[in-house]
Structure 1
Amino acid sequence: MESSDKSGSKVAALTILFFQTNHGMPKGMGRMIEGGIKEHQNLERFIASSADIAPKDQIDLMARCWFSLTPGRTEAIQHEYVDARSGQTETVRITGSGEHGIATIHDQDLLIYAISQWIEAKRKGLEPSRRIHFTPYQFLAWMNREPGGGQYQRLKDALHRLKMTSIQTTIRSEQGKRSRKRIRQFSWISEWEITEEKGEIRGVEVVLAEWLFESIQDFHVLTLDKRYFDISGSVERWLYLYARKATGGPTGVWKETFKSLYQKSASQQAYKHYASTLRKLVKKNDLPGFRLEHVSSAQGKDMLLMERTEKRGVIEAKNPPAQEAQLVLIERSPLEEAWENVLELLRKQVGADQVKAWLERLQLGELVDGTLTYRANLKFVADWVETNFKHKMEAAWQSIGHPVTSVRIETKGRKSAA
């Protein structure tokens, strides 16, 4: 079903079919899952759209690599680190079956597809469920890939690996007051089903992890460049996702040691080979939307400088000072990450210079009953934003589907304008 927006462009509408599995369900439309876990019952069936929806990924999956960079990996992926914001230790442990191995970073494309569909549905005021239905053609066309050529078999293999990969983590495991001892275990896919006709897959239906689904409720996602799917190398793919998250600050620049990137990527390569791969990527310098540069720390350690090119008007000098310090990656709140998505929209609408001059100077406050408060250091800044950008900011928040209904600008703890 299609509808036209004010600009005349056609937007494919998302639809949700309600398949009740207990009673009142039309004959032949769904079934109870024998032996299924209670939370898997009574799931609505979400129908994916074939619209050109911007790809989005879950933020926790971008901070460290949760997927194998090589096919057939059976060695566990493990991360343990101290959250710089909370000071608490977070853990991740990912294992796979001996037959299928751990899901790969290319298998992650299916999760990115589902997340992107969910966010678009919420933006349109719909309520998707974890059970999502799509055709292989929709999935492949969305990534600008031609069907055939083994794509259907690769999709089947990806479904197997996503189902058989097991994740244990303390990240976002809070329930009420956060309990640091609470560990959640899940698979990327709880169950899946395919419909075949004459040897070809006609439809795919999957139930994705509740842990993943919960994260979209507070828009814990970032928008990706559609060219991400053109990246063939696994290390390069993960580096793009990490750079997209790490450079989310106002400067759009991030520096990190090769050794730290190596550890966060969970690569099975020897470090010297991984470092060589990073140097080659710097030489190619074709990561979509980023400039890479090899710099050195004060101690002479190899570091990678990542810069989002869309956040600057002119390319800076190629040789910054050699004395570079390791930065600490602060995990931002979902509201802060959503504000980054809003800023991206506003850069396209009012220009990057205007956003940098006025909006990036605002301090994000609290969200109460749909009203989001910002604070400015100077009254004239607050007044200018109130007059020139307030309505655009509200529209941008609403366009991403976030429950912000109004914006208030304050200065030095006082409202500059109602």
Structure 2
Amino acid sequence: MATQDSKAFGGEQGDLFVCDIANWPVKDDIASMEIPLFSLKKNKDVEVREYRRGNKTLRVIPSTVGAATVFDKDLLIYVASQIVEGMKQGRQVSRTVQVDSYDFLVATARSDGAASFDRLVDMLRRLRGTTIETNIETGGERQLEGFAMIESYKVIETTRNKKGATRFSVTVSEWLYNGLLKYEVLTLDPGYFRLGRPIERRLYEIARKHCGDQPYWKLNIDLLAEKIGISRPRRQFRGELREVIQVDSLPEYRLALDTSTDPDSVVFYTRNSHKLAKYLMENPEKAVWFGTLEKYAKPSITDG
């Protein structure tokens, strides 16, 4: 039977939603883009983390298998993208989804080797075991609650097919699902999945949420560190940002540093050179300021 909310937003509630839609836009839920829910560590992380901003509070409590990572989040992005596209197509949707692991691995730019299938189970364990305690609003509701990133999972086909794939089902949290029903999502560039460093993924999410289609957006370096979930000294974080600036791998955006402020400001600006040039031409004082920033410099042919 369809729920009132899901009918109102283009979908109907079913018992199981099969993630089999091709050519889907990549969608990320807005609430998790704003806050550091996911660990940036590639090794096992069992540290309890806290985040506070205004009246928003968040605690991330890992299980013994470790906290869910920014790479584990790919599964939630994949499921969210499928659910949102399913609603747009008028399909029945559900908190419980069925995923073909081969399709997931290919869609998120992962290897489809045997080891990747084995690592999927570890991903499910971390997502199920990590507890989020928060009062951050989704779907028009605010309440303090604790929940797992996924409520449950089940491997439903252990016989490998010719591609080496298995299938599994996942029940996502009501917290995430309520936001999806209200279309509280933003579209990501598919290049997000090819970002290999955790800090790059968080920087892109923050840029996509706050900079959006603007020519640029800035904030101070300490606040950015909080949003990313980094507690390292400012000097070390600044060094990491400089590496990101020169590697220049973020889709849609570039980074720059304004070292004339105290603390430094971090500037996200569009890769659309026409849009940026038009804005700077119309705002000469900003053009002067932009010229002082520490930003990406294309290597010359004599470098190296």
Shorter-chain TM range is: 0.7 to 0.9
Determine which of 270, 283, 286 is the counterpart of 1:308: 270
Q: Does 1:105 align with 2:70?
A: yes
Matched AA of 1:295: D
- After TM superposition, the structure 1 = structure 2 runs for residues 76-115 of structure 1, keeping only pairs within 5 Å, are 76-82=48-54, 89-98=55-64, 100-115=65-80
Q: Does 1:157 align with 2:127?
A: no
Shift of 1:128: 0.6
Pair 62,252 (structure 1): closer, same or farther in 2 beyond 3 Å: farther
CA distance in 2, matches of 1:223, 1:190: 25
Pair 103,318 (structure 1): closer, same or farther in 2 beyond 3 Å: farther
CA distance in 1, matches of 2:88, 2:62: 34
Determine which of 22, 39, 44 is the counterpart of 1:72: 44
In the superposition, the TM-score normalised over structure 2's length comes to: 0.81
Shift of 1:251: 2.6
Pair 156,201 (structure 1): closer, same or farther in 2 beyond 3 Å: farther
8 Å Cα contact 1:169/1:184 also seen in 2:
yes
Q: Which has the larger radius of gyration?
A: 1
Is there any run of 5+ residues in structure 1 with no aligned partner, and where?
1-17, 19-41, 83-88, 324-418
Pair 312,128 (structure 1): closer, same or farther in 2 beyond 3 Å: farther
Aligned residues: 270
Which of the pair is proportionally richer in helix?
A: 2
CA distance in 1, matches of 2:195, 2:168: 25
Determine which of 259, 265, 277 is the counterpart of 2:228: 265
**Higher relative contact order, structure no. (Cα contacts within 8 Å, ≥ 6 residues apart):** 2
CA distance in 2, matches of 1:72, 1:229: 21
Determine which of 131, 135, 146 is the counterpart of 1:166: 131
CA distance in 1, matches of 2:127, 2:108: 19
CA distance in 2, matches of 1:318, 1:297: 13
Shift of 1:185: 1.1
Q: Does 1:234 align with 2:198?
A: yes
- Report what 1:58 is aligned to: 29
Q: Does 1:129 align with 2:94?
A: yes
CA distance in 1, matches of 2:231, 2:126: 18
Give deviations 1:352-375, integer Å, cap 9, x for gaps: xxxxxxxxxxxxxxxxxxxxxxxx
8 Å Cα contact 2:138/2:179 also seen in 1:
no
CA distance in 2, matches of 1:270, 1:150: 36
Give deviations 1:97-120, integer Å, cap 9, x for gaps: 12x111000000000001000110
CA distance in 2, matches of 1:260, 1:171: 18
- Report what 1:320 is aligned to: 290
CA distance in 2, matches of 1:131, 1:153: 22
CA distance in 2, matches of 1:193, 1:289: 36
Shift of 1:64: 1.9
TM superposition outliers: structure 1 runs of 4+ over 4 Å: 198-201, 314-319
Shift of 1:216: 1.1
8 Å Cα contact 2:221/2:266 also seen in 1:
yes
Pair 290,187 (structure 1): closer, same or farther in 2 beyond 3 Å: same
- After TM superposition, the structure 1 = structure 2 runs for residues 8-407 of structure 1, keeping only pairs within 5 Å, are 44-70=15-41, 71-82=43-54, 89-98=55-64, 100-148=65-113, 150-172=115-137, 182-194=143-155, 195-197=157-159, 201-248=165-212, 251-299=214-262, 301-310=263-272, 312-315=274-277, 320=290
Identity %: 29
8 Å Cα contact 2:14/2:92 also seen in 1:
no
- Report what 1:353 is aligned to: none
Shift of 1:312: 4.6
Q: What SS is found at the alignment partner of 1:105?
A: coil
Matched AA of 1:188: M
CA distance in 2, matches of 1:212, 1:274: 30
Give deviations 1:303-336, integer Å, cap 9, x for gaps: 211012248535455962659xxxxxxxxxxxxx
Shift of 1:145: 3.1
Shift of 1:50: 4.4
CA distance in 2, matches of 1:50, 1:310: 30
Shift of 1:54: 1.2
8 Å Cα contact 1:48/1:134 also seen in 2:
yes
Matched AA of 2:236: H
8 Å Cα contact 1:251/1:311 also seen in 2:
no
Shift of 1:269: 3.6
Is there any run of 5+ residues in structure 2 with no aligned partner, and where?
2-12, 281-286, 294-304
